[in-house]
Structure 1
Amino acid sequence: RHWILGTTDTEWDLDKAHPAASSADIDYLLAHVNSVLAVPLTRDDVEGVFAGLRPLLAGESDATSKLSREHTVAHPVPGLVVVAGGKYTTYRVMAKDAVDEAVHGLDRRVAECVTEDVPLLGAEGYRALWNARARIAEKTGLHVARVEHLLNRYGSMTEELLELVTADPGLGRPLSGADDYLRAEVVYAASHEGARHLDDVLTRRTRISIETFDRGTRCARECAELMAPVLGWDKEQIEKEVEHYEKRVEAERESQLQPDDLTADAARLGAPDIVPI
């Protein structure tokens, strides 16, 4: 139901905690995708925007688009191994190379790395559950499409999430304003996935902030109230979390109207973190 369009590839030397997408970035992506679409997209079609940074190894070229996406491992002094470069999708290879480097100087044999054969959390048992998705839907009262959504997001950990629904059937309802997601997913994010703040759930554990035109503001209070019992929040903290998230969205929207990186960065910094980093 959503497209992800990307990416820009420009140098960034401003705030590293919250890189901002400018109006120029958005126009750049729309222009490129519209060059191959029969029906062009406009700003009105943009549900959400996100920006991030990736570390690149220094190279001979000044253009970031031409720098290596690979990583390198170094052992500059005894006892210290460093990794530079890399990206999300190669984290296991990076870890393997770093550990291999770290154990290289040990005076005992270390078994060969097995990371490529270790299943991700939720992978074990996934295929059996996928084959049983119609029965799971019948048993839980959820639509089979909803069960498929959960299996694709959580794999076999879906069983833990469904236990929450069994204990509290109200958690089996979709979020108001973000009906791709169940209320149980918000509770699960706080109880099982380490979410500690509202924006953890709306921007990281789920993709509500970029999959809804309101950027998640319509369901923000509902989510905060679902998280509150798990995290021990009182009414004051709920208000604080909702207010912070609304200011974050406001600052991000403002940054995306700015003509360049400098002004976009200044606008995004208008919403400070709820907990100083």
Structure 2
Amino acid sequence: MDDEFEKGTGPKRFTFAELSRATSDFAESGKLGEGGFGGVYKGLSSESNTQIAVKKFSRGSKQGKKEYVSEVKIITRLRHRNLVQLTGWCHERDNSFGRHDGLFSSRMCHHRKASKESDVYGFGVVALEITSGRRPVDTTQEPNKVRLVEWVWDLYGKGHLLEAVDKRLTNEFDERQLECLMIVGLWCCHPDFAYRPSIRQVISVLNFEAPLPSLPAKLPVPIYYAPPMNLHEFSSKSSGLTTSESSGTTNSSLLPSRSTKPLLNEEEPNV
């Protein structure tokens, strides 16, 4: 594993004992959330006396050695005010870890819950922040520009997506690459998590190995479905409800149907 990482400056290798001590033996009380490949734990660095976050990859994770090494290399190179810095790693006792200075997003810390879908959403927001040079919410802007995702999506629908690009770039950028990153960012921020891409799909599109997604011109409004109810009880209170005697279910037209229009222009890539 050591040979997979570049020599010189970069993330430091930590021992299992050091990370265990920093996180109080990975105490559940300090668990910030559960992501796609494992849990994230709050810790305290004995070296700098600062708070850290340690990502512990679960044994049942589908992330292999190749993906783990790639993640460490990529995150080490990223620099952004909304990304916590990767400062170290550990791979022993059949466990893999990544140590970050600082804590994760306030949304995740507040709800104490993470998922693959929320990870993808967070990536989308950061992608839009990097390309636009703006924060997710900026109350100093005009009313239609306060919320970053809504503003960029509106420009996308009007065919003026590049108007959202950070003016400080002074047109010194590759339009195709930047447009691709912004559209992928919007895709990741789709209000319905079921329509968000997987990280593999994101990578394929960013590498131009798969087509760009065809997103709605307007930001979709999330649809929430009511839980199942006792139809016999409901039918006695509503004269306009039609039920099936054989199955006891309502006519499907009573519920809003989800669009079956594919999100991608072409068939979803096999990644």
Shorter-chain TM-score tier: under 0.3
Bigger share in strand: 2
Greater helix content: 1
Normalised to the residue count of structure 2, the TM-score between the two structures is 0.21
Higher relative contact order (CA 8 A, sep 6+): 1
